Amino acid sequence: MQYKNLGRSGLRVSQLSYGAWVTFGNQLDVKEAKALLQACRDAGVNFFDNAEVYANGRAEEIMGQAIRDLGWRRSDVVISTKLFWGGQGPNDKGPSRKHIVEGLKGSLKRLDMVDVRTAQFNIILSETVGRYREDES
């Protein structure tokens, strides 16, 4: 497997990643997810993708459980997840500070992770940063 730098984050990620979009939670359970994730690792994949909206959060839960069951060290993999379409409530989606903070906490809990190594915002950054600055005063 070949690896590339992930922007200027200092992270080295495999050129191929495995995503849980249409599989985890909709078609596969933890047992099958473990087999797929292990096959990816055996091929050198260290970059795994998810989102809070995939299977209404179930995909993150399955990936987190599978990684925990496989006994992987957190430092050996890079897991990305995306926030935006989090739920039905008026503040459960979108780029608001409230949703970013609460959505990230929810994703970390579902993935059974305790930290964020890097964050990437694919939205109008000036609006988002402005929202954070407003809350700091």
DSSP secondary structure letters along 12-23: EEESS-EE-SSS
Tokens 């780029």 identify what position?
95
Which residue of the set 3, 18, 54, 132 is catalytic? Answer: 54
The verdict on whether 132 is a catalytic residue reads no
DSSP secondary structure letters along 48-103: EE--TTGGGGHHHHHHHHHHHHHT--GGG-EEE---SB--SSTTSBSS-HHHHHHH
User: For residue 128, which phi and psi values (nearest 5 degrees)?
Assistant: -65, -45
Token reading at 32? 């099958």
Active site positions, annotated? 54
